[in-house]
A = this chain, B = another copy of it.
Amino acid sequence: MNSALSPLALRQKVRAGEHTGDTSGFAPGFVQCNIVILSADWANDFLRFCQLNPKPCPLIGAGEPGNPALPLLGDMDIRTDVPSYRVFRDGEMTEEIPDITNLWRDDLVTFALGCSFSFEEALLADGLEVRNVTAGVNVPMYRTNIDCTSAGPFVGKMVVSMRPFKAADAIRAVQICTRFPSVHGAPVHLGDPGLIGISDLALPDYGDAVSIEEGEMPVFWACGVTPQVALEAARPPFAITHSPGCMLVTDLRNSQLAVM
């Protein structure tokens, strides 16, 4: 499926405006990241929020203030190498644009967070069926009643993604994802969705509903939408994120994230 371009070649197409859509399925085997860009005076609180909430906000890389490079993640320029950006002013999205060169400032700090594509690849490689992949839809995501630990203005409830499995596969999924703490790690819940404040699985807050078959249970992972919700609550004067599904593709291999 999709392109087997190297991460660098894909980023070069993105930079040239030749790839503007989502990155799911591209550069298989390589880590894709959620992106949050904040001014330096907001960055410390956000960094602390990530450290206090590592399951929804697993920090893979951070840039220096004003520097658009992330050398540990590959040869890249964060101003041009994400297919689509969302710009927020006072917590409201004001633009969705393919390039932020004109908005760059010498006080901006980039955060790259792990994303579920990496663990979905590990589940698929083990022979498990990932329903949202099979159905070709976005994974369903739900706001829960699980409080994040707040850091300054960054507060909020955890958002989770859901994938249904038979119990034995859910147990296997816990084992597989435990190896990958930097891409959300093991599930945070399984079974009764009401216990974490989800009233109807057919009505996700983000993404698309998926079928749950006889004998399957819903399994819930901490989700990278959580930091976006915290960002909306914090209402910084200026922030930039990737557009949903349009991730930063890095040179890190998913297998390099495995802790054992």
Contact = CB atoms under 8 A, between A and B. Distances in A.
Contact of A168 (B170, B178, B189): B189
Contacts of A186: 171, 174-175
Identical chains bound together, number: 2
B171 A190 contact: yes
Contact of A167 (B171, B178, B190, B215): B190
Contacts of A29: none
A175 B188 CA distance: 12
Interface string A206-221: 0000000001010000
A191 interface: yes
A82 to B, nearest CB: 33
A189 B171 CA distance: 8
Contacts of A156: none
A68 interface: no
A112 to B, nearest CB: 26
Interface residues of A, number: 19
Interface in A162-189: 166-168, 170-171, 174-175, 178, 186-189
A191 B167 contact: yes
A168 B171 CA distance: 12
Given A178-B178, A260-B260, A171 B188 contact: yes
Contacts of A187: 171
Nearest to A196: B167
Interface in A211-260: 215, 217, 260
Interface in A47-96: none
Contacts of A178: 175, 178
A203 interface: no
Nearest to A220: B167
6 contacts: A167-B190, A168-B188, A171-B174, A174-B174, A175-B175, A195-B215
Shortest Cβ-Cβ A-B pairs, 3 listed: A174-B174, A167-B189, A191-B217
Interface of A: 166-168, 170-171, 174-175, 178, 186-192, 195, 215, 217, 260
